[in-house]
A and B are shown apart, each in its own frame.
Chain A
């Protein structure tokens, strides 16, 4: 099981958000901090922490932080 609190903290670090915490239902693509470089940082973090790679086509379907966490869980299983 992916620890959602931990995953959100990791995403917060990737996006360099310090003044608030993230929620699983938040749409990451709508955040001002989301960018092509943030996407690459996310890929790097997921590779480091979970040893998982999500293809660009699959990633395009994901909308919320919870979606990413569930995609990770599916690939880790």
Chain B
């Protein structure tokens, strides 16, 4: 069983940084006609996304979010003993982005740093891994960095031709605390679906060749290069509505909880139709499922912390506790759910860069 019950770990705070620059769906040239644009906004649920315009990466935004959060928490750089970067927008194939950020942030040589090579399940997996390492007391203060950035920062013609991805960097702070309420986490995988979302070339299996730089049309009619991401949207949709629903129901059962006892359900946001489907199948009232994708799109592993910062910030900062179930799902195929409580979180207002 990949279920962990984790004591002694408290979430201390969360922060998010996004580019100032907004790409409005109304101004996107990706739609063949007006009806397609209206359908996209209504069904996929995205009205605008933030795009950096070529001058920053996911790691830059994560660093800004982390430094702002550390300042508000009163954490000095040499107090951080664990830094995990869990996102697919890595700085380089190697070294690990966490190592690059370690140097830029001036952290101690006694700080453990590594990346988790996952995408949209990255925040939930990252939380489970970070909390699992802290619980014994060997680590006291940890940062989990999640988010996404487009390679060019411009409207990208290759990712399924539609502006569904947005840029963001987030930081979540964890601290060893023997009075912390239990965190319960489940991590799952279906590796037979590894091709459903894939960057085919650039790794050992398929090193980059000159042909990978040329645009081709895939079986789904999308134009992309070998070095770009390929996605089988229908398979991912089916995967998400089945597995996420299952994971949320299992988490409720495992924690002997009920929908009415949970304050918020925070799901990864790639497409509103997926979120609505999970919500309806789990019979969750709409006000318990805050969404930020209308303003930020799919920010990969950043969607859950970004929603915490932009939608329920005041509630999570209060002294009364909030019970939350979160669920992330995506490339791998990988998914996971986590149950945790928040109280007096430190959350700086959304940072714009």
Residues of A bordering B, CB below 8 Å: 35-37, 39-41, 43-44, 47-48, 53, 55-56, 59
Contacts of B242 in A (CB 8 A): 53
CA A53 to CA B39, docked complex, whole Å: 23
Report which of B36, B43, B232, B281 forms a contact with A40, defined as CB distance below 8 A.
B43
Summarize B's interface: helix, strand, loop or mixed: helix
Q: Tell me whether A43 and B43 are in contact (CB under 8 A).
A: no
Task: Select B241's contact among A41, A47, A55, beta carbons within 8 Å.
Answer: A47
B interface, CB within 8 angstroms of A:
36, 39-40, 43-44, 232-235, 237-238, 241-242, 271, 273, 276-277, 280-281
A20 to B335, CA, bound (A): 42
Give the distance in Å from the alpha carbon of A41 to the alpha carbon of B234 in the complex.
11
What chain A residues lie within 8 Å of B43 (beta carbons)? 37, 40-41
**Which residues of A have CB within 8 Å of B241?**
43-44, 47
Given contact pairs A44-B241, A44-B273, A39 touches B234 in the complex (Cβ within 8 A): yes
Chain A residue numbers with a CB within 8 Å of B233 are 36, 40
Let me know if A40 and B234 touch, CB within 8 A: yes
Question: Contacts A35-B36, A47-B277, A48-B277; is A56 near B44 (CB within 8 Å)?
Answer: no
| Contacts beyond the supplied A35-B36, A56-B235, A56-B238: 11 A-B pairs with Cβ under 8 Å | A36-B234, A37-B39, A39-B234, A40-B273, A41-B273, A44-B277, A47-B281, A48-B280, A53-B238, A55-B238, A56-B232
In the complex, A55 Cα to B44 Cα: how many Å? 21
Min CB distance B101 to A, Å, is 37
Closest to B276 in A: A44
Residues of A near B238 (CB, < 8 A) are 43, 53, 55-56
6 A-B pairs within 8 Å (CB atoms) are namely: A36-B233, A37-B43, A41-B43, A43-B238, A44-B241, A56-B238
